[in-house]
Structure formats: C-alpha cells, structure tokens
C-alpha cells in the first residue's frame, strides 16, 4: 500500500505512541510499522470495538492502520458520536483532527 511501513514516519509514530495508553493494529502494514519502533500492540483483533470501549472509559487509544482501513474505523467512531483525530504518518504528509 503505497510503500506500506517503509514510508511511515517512524519519529511521528513514536510521538503518537507516547500519548496513548492502549494501541491497536489493523493490518500487516500497521503491525510492521509498530515492530519497527519495537512496540507490541495491545490489540490485534476487535481493534475498533476496543478503541470505542477505551474512549468510553476515558483511556487514550491509538489505532495504527493503513489508509484503506481508515474509512471503516471513522464510520464506526462516528456511529458512537466519539471525537477522534486522524494522524497521517506517511512521510511528508500532514494530519487532521475531527
């Protein structure tokens, strides 16, 4: 996927990981990127639902996923009326908050 984990800005990924209490990975690219920064995700399965549950409990949760996984994640978060931020970790790209 557009270079996958090779094109991930690992410095920015580490910065986002420092803010999160829990981490979920959706897809192989996400898992590889996390492995590159020596982080083992707390969740590999049921990541969307785990993120929602964490939000309801007030826990900061970071979901790492490839671009093609964002739309279904966002749809699920919006169904629950949750605030979220999208951080584009592809090298030389910007982020947005919702």
What stretches of the chain show up as alpha helix (H) in DSSP? 10-19, 28-36, 47-56, 70-79
Average pLDDT over residues 12-31: 96
Using alpha carbons, select from 6, 62, 69 the residue that is nearest to residue 36.
6
Band the pLDDT of 1: cuts 50, 70, 90. very low
Supply the pLDDT for residue 92: 73
pLDDT in tens, 53-83: 999 999 999 999 998 889 999 999 999 999 9
Bridge partners (DSSP) of residue 63 are 24
Supply the pLDDT for residue 23: 98
Band the pLDDT of 7: cuts 50, 70, 90. confident
Tell me the whole-structure pTM to 2 decimals: 0.85
- Print burial letters for 50-72: b (CB count within 10 Å at least 16), e (below 16): bbbebbeeeeebbbbbbeebeee
In order of 16, 36, 51, 85, 89, the CA distances from 76 in angstroms are 21, 28, 10, 14, 21
Q: State phi, psi for 18 to the nearest 5 degrees.
A: -65, -25
pLDDT in tens, 34-43: 999 999 999 9
| Residue-range domain boundaries for the chain | 4-88
Average pLDDT over residues 13-36: 96
């Amino acid at each position: 996927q557009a270079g996958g984990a090779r094109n991930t800005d690992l410095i920015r990924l580490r910065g986002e990981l420092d803010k999160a209490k829990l981490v979920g990975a959706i897809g192989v690219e996400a898992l590889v990127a996390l492995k590159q920064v020596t982080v083992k995700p707390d969740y590999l399965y049921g990541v969307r639902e785990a993120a929602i549950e964490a939000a309801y409990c007030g826990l900061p949760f970071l979901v790492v996923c490839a671009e093609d996984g964002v739309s279904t994640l966002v749809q699920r978060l919006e169904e629950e009326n949750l605030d979220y931020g999208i951080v584009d970790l592809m090298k030389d790209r910007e982020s947005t908050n919702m």
